[in-house]
């Protein structure tokens, strides 16, 4: 049973997200279609009103969920017939359906319905997935939109540089409001993620946002920005928090670990988030250990604060022309983290 | 496995509790003794600092947990030997130990270690429990305290009016900073709860706070105030919230119910809490249905807001000399609620 992003950023309230100054949140089209239903959300005045989010909402197309979660699927030119992972009922989702759902949700940015090929994947399969993605993208581009809604295309092509370039160029030929780099961070080694970005970004229009889907970790994001990426989405800060892992400038660590039982320092020294201003590792560790919701809330809050701050730092470095130095620092820190991590592991 | 109040009010942050303007919170001595340990909390600077709560903390004595949760217990003049419900290890808790733990926690109000007799319970057993409670109370009164810590005695006596009176008077003879009415709301019918209060309150010193333990529901609280009670503690607002039940002026209802699927009204119309100012029943129902933490957070926030407001209303009515009218209104509303509730049940 999948539990996706259900019209909220997990454990957070919209007021808290505004305070962290996030500008766009992502909602999962397929999960909302299944529960509570896009028709219901439309009758409730659309997703912004439903979840009380006054800023931008990006909806994914449901393609990723269909290809990663659904069993017994049958792919045709019109879309995908599959068994609902929620209740086993027969379901059909294609470019027409995906755009109609996103229109009803009333998101600000809709994503085209694409085929996200797995890793590893043969060149033949990747090629077919690119062709289907392009033909579906053309169908999506012709559909009606919610007022003011933007539509982004998605580049596929697996690990094959020429397929990625072709996909990017033909999507640009159709013409979208922005372009996403898809089919990365689907299980391949880290270096292939960066290669996939490098094989895609140069062929995307320079005057449109480039959105890297499903990435990433803090150092990955800096590398991606260096390769020309403008936007990200990632479950890491919230998912790690639910597992009790704090993300910091110096890497991540498990707050539950016995060595923090009496540690009076905040999750991250010098951090200005509510969790770090008011609570010790010892207290948060205790909350996590006894399954108190506040424990997950505080770590989630910290992790998102760290991400927001990191993104602000990158924007400032770009504006000041010092992004090269920023990246060098991130790379050096990341090496230190790897060494520290190994050291901690040895200790326990 | 018990999951008690673990150094937080479930799902809430201290900042949110301050905003609701609660002045005292309760922490469970026994649960904190078991995890993370009172010695650890003392080394972390005491419970106020540990959980970042700047106002008053009341700690129970652990007696209730020992008598309700522990198996294989053996009661002696010095206290109770029992098997820890956490890990089965042999544990001993008596008046000396309970006061030492509460001293280390550094609460503002410590409770004496008492024997809370179950319901039903024979007169003989209730009589023995009263004697033990009184002798333990005397021991507690002699123990060292944390700086400024107050100690409250607890009246037992089951459903036996003469035992309650005797217990109250002999406790007053020892002399405490406040007095609790214990051994009520332990499974007996509602009318016996009120009878227990009526059988106790008149014999307690008028110039000390009277604290009714483990009660209650909103109408019960008004009845208790009419009988002379000043303080309450209750898991209802947070526990009901975790089960998806909203508490309102017009009784409680399950927000998850299908009839609220497209209900755009707030949990309670006219309510000024964050949940009611910003979100619909439809949205909160969805969050609860997909197990999103935010759902429980919003219902908890509403329920606590309702309680805080109700307590303010009672205080204002007393100050204005209109408490009689307030109580009459509560009684009338409560009858209506019972009828409405029956009607809803019939509908579903």
User: pLDDT tens across A302-319, in order?
Assistant: 999 999 999 999 999 999
Q: What is the DSSP string of B99-140?
A: HHHHHHHT-SEEE-------SS--HHHHHHHHHHHHHHHHHH
Query: What is the domain range of residue A315?
Result: 239-347
Asked which of A208, A234, A260 is the last residue of a domain, the reply is A234
Q: φ, ψ for residue B335 (rounded to 5)? A: -65, -45
Residue A114, phi-psi category: left (phi > 0), alpha (psi -120 to 50), beta (remainder): beta
User: pLDDT tens across A267-315, in order?
Assistant: 999 999 999 999 999 999 999 999 999 999 999 999 999 999 999 999 9
- End-to-end, the C-alpha distance of chain A in Å comes to 34
- B150, two tokens: 């107050």
A residues 224-283 lying closer than 8 A (beta carbon) to B = 261-262, 264, 274, 278-280, 282-283
B residues 163-192 lying closer than 8 A (beta carbon) to A = none
CA distances from A110 to A59, A132, A265 (A): 5, 18, 43
- A69, two tokens: 């979660």
CA distances from B138 to A201, B86, B87, B106, B132 (A): 78, 30, 31, 21, 10
How would you write the pLDDT of chain B (348 residues) with one tens digit per residue?
333 456 889 999 999 999 999 999 999 999 999 999 999 999 999 999 999 999 999 999 998 888 887 777 899 999 999 988 888 889 999 999 999 999 999 999 999 999 998 899 999 999 999 999 999 999 999 999 999 999 999 999 999 999 999 999 999 999 999 999 999 989 899 889 999 999 999 999 999 999 999 998 899 999 999 999 999 999 999 999 999 999 998 889 999 999 999 999 999 999 999 999 999 999 999 999 999 999 999 999 999 999 999 999 999 999 999 999 999 999 998 776 655 554 454 333
Look at residue B295 and tell me if it is in a domain.
Answer: yes
Chain B residues within an 8 Å CB radius of A85: none
Q: Is A3 on the interface with B (CB under 8 A)?
A: yes
Question: Is position A233 annotated as part of the catalytic site?
Answer: yes
- A45, two tokens: 């005045």
Residue B4, phi-psi category: left (phi > 0), alpha (psi -120 to 50), beta (remainder): beta
Asked which of B181, B214, B234 is the last residue of a domain, the reply is B234
User: Are residues A179 and A271 both part of a single domain?
Assistant: no
Chain B residues within an 8 Å CB radius of A3: 290-291
Asked which of A171, A199, A234 is the last residue of a domain, the reply is A234
Q: Is A292 on the interface with B (CB under 8 A)?
A: yes
Look at residue B254 and tell me if it is in a domain.
Answer: yes
User: Min CA distance, B297 vs chain A (Å)?
Assistant: 9
- Cα(A22)–Cα(A16) distance, rounded to whole angstroms? 10
Buried b (16+ CB within 10 A) or exposed e, A41-70: bbebebbbbbbbbeeebbbbbbbbbbbebb
How many domains does chain A contain in total? Answer: 2
Look at residue A2 and tell me if it is in a domain.
Answer: no
CB contact under 8 A, B44 and A264: yes
Q: φ, ψ for residue B180 (rounded to 5)? A: -110, 145
User: Are residues A268 and A222 both part of a single domain?
Assistant: no
User: Are residues A230 and A288 both part of a single domain?
Assistant: no
User: Are residues B69 and B192 both part of a single domain?
Assistant: yes
Residue of A nearest to B263 (CA): A44
User: Are residues B179 and B194 both part of a single domain?
Assistant: yes
Cβ(A227)–Cβ(A198) under 8 Å? yes
User: Are residues B37 and B161 both part of a single domain?
Assistant: yes
Look at residue B6 and tell me if it is in a domain.
Answer: no
Residue of A nearest to B3 (CA): A290
Q: What is the dihedral of CA B79, B85, B90, B91, to 10 degrees?
A: -40
Which pLDDT score is estimated for B3?
36
Q: Is A336 on the interface with B (CB under 8 A)?
A: no
Question: Catalytic residue among A233, A263, A291, A333, which?
Answer: A233
CA distances from A277 to A273, A274, B40 (A): 6, 5, 21
Sign for the pseudo-dihedral over CA of A265, A268, A271, A275: negative
Look at residue A326 and tell me if it is in a domain.
Answer: yes
User: Are residues B117 and B29 both part of a single domain?
Assistant: yes
Q: Is B92 on the interface with A (CB under 8 A)?
A: no
User: Are residues B149 and B191 both part of a single domain?
Assistant: yes
User: Are residues A223 and A269 both part of a single domain?
Assistant: no
Cβ(B179)–Cβ(B168) under 8 Å? yes
Look at residue A4 and tell me if it is in a domain.
Answer: no
Which pLDDT score is estimated for B71?
73
Look at residue B329 and tell me if it is in a domain.
Answer: yes
How would you write the pLDDT of chain A (348 residues) with one tens digit per residue?
333 456 889 999 999 999 999 999 999 999 999 999 999 999 999 999 999 999 999 999 998 888 887 777 899 999 999 988 888 889 999 999 999 999 999 999 999 999 998 899 999 999 999 999 999 999 999 999 999 999 999 999 999 999 999 999 999 999 999 999 999 989 899 889 999 999 999 999 999 999 999 998 899 999 999 999 999 999 999 999 999 999 998 889 999 999 999 999 999 999 999 999 999 999 999 999 999 999 999 999 999 999 999 999 999 999 999 999 999 999 998 776 655 554 454 333
User: Are residues A226 and A246 both part of a single domain?
Assistant: no
Give which of A44, A285, A286, A300 to mutate to test B binding, by max B Cβ within 10 Å.
Answer: A286
Question: Is position B108 annotated as part of the catalytic site?
Answer: no
What's the ipTM?
A: 0.94
Q: Is A5 on the interface with B (CB under 8 A)?
A: no
Peptide bond between residue B150 and the one before it cis (omega within 30 degrees of 0): no
Q: Is B45 on the interface with A (CB under 8 A)?
A: yes
Sign for the pseudo-dihedral over CA of A160, A165, A166, A168: positive
User: Min CA distance, A271 vs chain B (Å)?
Assistant: 17
Chain B residues within an 8 Å CB radius of A287: 6-8
Chain A residues within an 8 Å CB radius of B298: 13
Which pLDDT score is estimated for A6?
67
CB contact under 8 A, A52 and B279: yes
CB contact under 8 A, A286 and B3: no
CB contact under 8 A, A292 and B13: no
Question: Catalytic residue among B60, B114, B162, B333, which?
Answer: B60
User: Min CA distance, A210 vs chain B (Å)?
Assistant: 31
Look at residue A230 and tell me if it is in a domain.
Answer: yes
User: Are residues B228 and B257 both part of a single domain?
Assistant: no
Cβ(B145)–Cβ(B106) under 8 Å? no
Please tell me the pTM assigned to this model: 0.94
User: Are residues B164 and B305 both part of a single domain?
Assistant: no
**CATH at residue B175:** 3.20.20.105
CB contact under 8 A, A293 and B292: no
Q: Is B123 on the interface with A (CB under 8 A)?
A: no
Residue of B nearest to A37 (CA): B286
User: Min CA distance, A89 vs chain B (Å)?
Assistant: 18
* Number of A–B residue contacts, CB under 8 Å: 107
């Amino acid at each position: 049973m999948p539990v996706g992003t259900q019209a909220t950023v997990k454990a957070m309230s919209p007021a808290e997200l505004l305070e962290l100054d996030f500008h766009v949140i992502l909602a999962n089209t397929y999960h909302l279609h299944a529960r509570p239903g896009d028709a219901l959300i439309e009758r409730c005045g659309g997703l912004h009103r439903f979840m009380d989010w006054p800023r931008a909402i990006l909806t994914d197309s449901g393609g990723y969920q269909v290809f990663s979660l659904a069993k017994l699927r049958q792919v045709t030119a019109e879309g995908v017939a599959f068994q609902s992972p929620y209740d086993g009922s027969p379901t059909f989702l294609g470019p027409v359906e995906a755009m109609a759902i996103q229109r009803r949700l009333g998101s600000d940015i809709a994503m085209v319905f694409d085929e996200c090929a797995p890793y590893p994947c043969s060149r033949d399969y990747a090629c077919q997935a690119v062709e289907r993605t392009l033909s579906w993208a053309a169908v999506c581009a012709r559909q009606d939109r919610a007022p003011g809604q933007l539509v982004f295309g998605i580049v596929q092509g697996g690990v094959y540089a020429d397929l990625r370039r072709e996909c990017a160029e033909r999507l640009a030929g159709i013409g979208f409001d922005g372009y996403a780099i898809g089919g990365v961070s689907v299980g391949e080694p880290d270096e292939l993620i960066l290669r996939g970005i490098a094989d895609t970004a140069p062929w995307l229009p320079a005057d449109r946002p480039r959105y890297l889907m499903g990435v990433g970790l803090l150092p990955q994001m800096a590398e991606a920005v260096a390769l020309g990426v403008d936007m990200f989405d990632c479950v890491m800060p919230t998912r790690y928090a639910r597992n009790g892992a704090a993300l910091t400038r110096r890497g991540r660590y498990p707050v539950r670990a016995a060595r923090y039982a009496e540690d009076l320092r905040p999750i991250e020294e010098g951090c200005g988030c509510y969790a770090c201003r008011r609570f010790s590792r010892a207290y948060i560790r205790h909350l996590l250990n006894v399954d108190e919701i506040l424990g997950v809330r505080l770590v989630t809050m910290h992790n998102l604060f760290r991400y927001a701050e990191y993104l602000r730092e990158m924007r400032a470095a770009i504006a000041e022309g010092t992004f090269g130095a920023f990246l060098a620092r991130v790379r050096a820190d990341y090496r230190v983290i790897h060494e520290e991590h190994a050291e901690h592991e040895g200790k326990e």
